[in-house]
Amino acid sequence: MTDVDAVYSEARSWFEANWDPNRPLGEWWEVLAHSGWGFPSWPTRWFGKGLDGAAAKAAHRARADVGAFSAPAGIATMMVAPTLMEVGTPAQQDAYLEGIATGRDVWCQLFSEPGAGSDLAGVQTKAVRDGDEWVVNGQKVWTSGGHYARYAILVARTDVDVPKHRGLSFFLLDMRQPGIDPRPLRQMTGDAEFNEVFLTDVRVPADHLVGEIGSGWNVALRILLHERSSLDADSDTGGGIMGDLDLAAPAGSFVGAAKQDDGMDAIAAASGDRAKQLLLECLDRAGRRDDPVARQRVVEVFSLIDIARYSGGRLAPSLGKLASTQLMRRVRDTALWLLGPGGTLSGSDAPFDGLVTDMALMVPGLSIAGGTDEIQRNIVGERELGLPGEPRVDKDIAFKDVLQGTIR
């Protein structure tokens, strides 16, 4: 059992001694990665401290209390790095983990397709072996950061003669090569975080395969498990910004940034202590601190946040993810109720610079990201509660014989 107080004290001392807001972001992330305090739950061999969940949270809290900017966040740190540590080859670990830990390399995720969203095993993008390379053709969609990412994780079909779950393989892909065409998709927030990505004769070296040929479904499940864990109601990724940041800019300029590039600030404001502070400020703005009805609604949300913190790490990832999306909706609904018509405004002259409006527009997407709420309930029912599985008529049919839309 790790002494959480000792970890907090040690981490705080390190941050107080090393944090300099004028240091360039790239240099700060380099120092932070090699100290182990950027990702304290990672193994010591790979830029971490090997700490358990409670101790790692204490280290993140020490960083926040000092006011230091956190380690990189996003797909690379939440999903790619943990999976490479588990199933990547030593060469892949050496090639990619340092770039992830230091924030030099941004990654995206080429999973979903127009005809394969919740049914990920139904992807049709194909990878065909050509000597020491694979040639990839197909289309992906809802790719966060695809227009600026350096690398991608890719699920593609390598065998159509076996059932769909057994014909997939998992690859690491260089996004800056010919044949890759990301096209941003405008969201109702006005941002263009997502992309559709077209792949035409894209070449992938054979040693960029993760796991065995045909084991892509199992690797993808590992990735999704890490993603859902990061979306737990009490998750703590360190509070970093996910995006294409200027590594030459002062690290201090990103601390408490009012607006993150991809809407993550609005999502962060619906979680944990930031949500509590936001609701208290909404109470003040509405002049309802003494209104028992308003206070009761806010206290209910506070209680759910504290329960989530107590339960953090104890729930199955799908349950944690469901709890997270429901809690964020409660925060959103309570903030909008308190602000009234002002909660519909956006821009610099809106309450909280439009943060609550951004939250209202972003939170619904979290019920889709990382697997829809409906999929999570299926997983909980079947794997956690032992309920009968839903009928899957295509489970044992060769993929080439499965009806895809209106064609086979």
Q: Could you list the active site residues?
A: 227
Q: Name beta bridge partners: 234.
A: none
Question: Residue 139 carries which side chain, given as an amino acid letter?
Answer: Q
Q: CA 259, CA 274: separation in Å to the nearest integer?
A: 14
How do beta strands 168-174 and 151-157 pair?
antiparallel
Q: CA 335, CA 195: separation in Å to the nearest integer?
A: 30
Question: With contact defined as beta carbons under 8 Å apart, do 340 and 350 qualify?
Answer: no
Question: With contact defined as beta carbons under 8 Å apart, do 214 and 164 qualify?
Answer: no
Kindly give, in sequence order, each residue whose CB lies less than 8 Å from that of residue 45, ignoring residues fewer than 6 positions away.
Answer: none
Tell which residue, 271, 272, 270, 245, has the closest CA to residue 260. Answer: 245
Q: CA 70, CA 240: separation in Å to the nearest integer?
A: 5
For residue 240, the 8-state DSSP code is P
Query: Exposed, middle or buried, 373 (CB in 10 Å: 0-12/13-18/19+)?
Result: middle
Helix, coil or strand: residue 356: helix
Q: CA 70, CA 78: separation in Å to the nearest integer?
A: 14
Query: Exposed, middle or buried, 90 (CB in 10 Å: 0-12/13-18/19+)?
Result: exposed
Sort residue 238 into left (φ over 0), alpha (ψ -120 to 50) or beta.
left
Tell which residue, 333, 337, 313, has the closest CA to residue 325. Answer: 333
147-150 contacts at long range (C-beta below 8 A, 24 or more positions apart): 147/182, 147/184, 147/192, 147/195, 148/106, 148/243, 148/244, 149/106, 149/107, 149/108, 149/175, 150/99, 150/105, 150/106, 150/107, 150/174, 150/175, 150/176
Question: With contact defined as beta carbons under 8 Å apart, do 37 and 29 qualify?
Answer: no
Residue found by looking up tokens 């890719």 in the block: 154
